[in-house]
Amino acid sequence: MKALSGILVVDISRVLAGPYCGQLLADMGADVIKVESPEGDENRRWVPHMADGESSNFMSVNRGKRGITLDLKSPDGQALLRRLVEKADVVIQSFRQGTALRLGVDYESLKAINPDVIACSVNGYGGKGPLADRAGYDLMVQAFSGIMSTTGEEGRSPVRIGVSLNDMSTGLIAYGGILSALYARRDGAGGQHVQVSLLQSAVSLLGYHGVGWLQNGVVPRPEGTGSWHLVPYQAFECRDGRFLVGAPNDGAFRRLCEVIGRQDLAADPRFRTNADRLANKAVLIELLEATFADGDRDTWVDRLDAAGVAAAPLHTVDQAMSHPQVLANDLVVDVERPDGTPLKLLGMPFALSGTPGSPSGHPPRLGEHTEEVLREVLGVDEQEIARLRAAKAI
């Protein structure tokens, strides 16, 4: 049995953050009902598309769910949603606050239907403040939070982080918040509101950058692949590609110097400590670049690793996804499509030894399980299903 078996989740969130949270709950055994409008979640239509026409955006965050369509603007659709909420342990929604109020999926409305429900709201800028109802995508919050200002090369324009970091981390944080609320409910706390946002996630991810500014007013600058407080800690070019070296302490730096045959650098007063290396970063990096350029990537990585110096090749996505280490940790998994053909997706970001999770099914086709859910969960008969279809409520 999986850890969340028996938990019923109604997922009316869209795009990436909320759906990723729902997918994690499904992987851990929850029965997650993905509620979409008759037109479908907008990210079903985003490129790139897979061979069967489905968007990889949608497929990456919706596996293992049962998919239904409801017109939440219709009285019948709203009535069906209320009946689902009555039975739900968890509801996830990602509407702007004004829209959530109009649709009756804000926390107070959900609580009135089911006082024990764990209601998770996912939005762009948080539940309070002057921007609480502003629309927020990952890109905008990367910029607003200051994260984007730390990217790219010094003297050039900042760049977008290449993955939807805020969206995916917000999904993980929502998952943690929901589990905390479920644990508290088990101990008698009842239902509660779990509020997460892209901004909360992004500011938390600032980590030492944010704390550094709070404590001493230091505004971090872009460093490319490097670090503003550790040297050497960045990418280097070699004959057949790029690789990363991390020697964040003096012992690691001495071992690095031994590997490259430049013990003189470790003894050089300009480079003895990390503070010295920071003060003379440009000189040291130029020396290391000249050394590493005359060698092969994998040879350097292997030699440094053998000496206890952290190093890694700079992989492209295809190289990473096919690497034995990625495959050994079940980070690429197969699920079965309705027609029996395999579908490769990403694995889970954590593993439990006693009650492990696993992908439990394919991402649903639009409305694939509507009738099944209405029958099994709500007890709706065939005549009523036909009426609902005729009324375009489902």
Confidence of residue 154 (pLDDT cuts 50, 70, 90): confident
Q: Give mean pLDDT, residues 133-149.
A: 95
The predicted-structure confidence for 116-125, as pLDDT tens digits, reads as follows 999 999 999 9
Confidence of residue 51 (pLDDT cuts 50, 70, 90): low
Q: Which CATH number fits domain 233-315: 3.40.50.300, 3.30.1540.10, 3.30.590.20, 3.40.190.10?
A: 3.30.1540.10
Model-wide pTM > 0.85: yes
The percent of residues above 70 in pLDDT, for the chain, comes to: 100
> Phi/psi of residue 36, each to 5°?
-125, 160
Q: Is 304 helix (H, G, I), strand (E, B) or coil?
A: helix
Domain 8-205+325-390 CATH class label: alpha beta
8-205+325-390 and 233-315 share one fold: no
- Judge whether 138 and 144 are in contact, CB under 8 Å: no
Of 52 and 132, the one with more pLDDT: 132
* Active-site amino acid positions: 167
Going by C-beta distance under 8 Å and a sequence separation of 6 or more, which residues neighbour residue 50?
Answer: 56, 59
> Phi/psi of residue 189, each to 5°?
-75, -15
Q: Give the H or E element holding residue 265.
A: helix 263-267
Confidence of residue 282 (pLDDT cuts 50, 70, 90): very high
So where are the chain's domains?
8-205+325-390, 233-315
Looking up tokens 């049995």 gives: 1
What local confidence, expressed as pLDDT, does residue 323 receive? 98
Residue 62, CB-side half-sphere exposure with 13 Å CA sphere = 30
Confidence of residue 339 (pLDDT cuts 50, 70, 90): confident
CA distance 126 to 136: 10
The predicted-structure confidence for 23-40, as pLDDT tens digits, reads as follows 999 999 999 999 999 999
Peptide bond into 364 cis (omega under 30): no
- Judge whether 80 and 91 are in contact, CB under 8 Å: no
Residue 164 CA, chain-centre distance (Å), reads 7
Return mean pLDDT, the chain: 96
CA distance 394 to 387: 10
Please state, as a whole number, how many other Cβ atoms lie within 10 Å of the Cβ of residue 61.
27
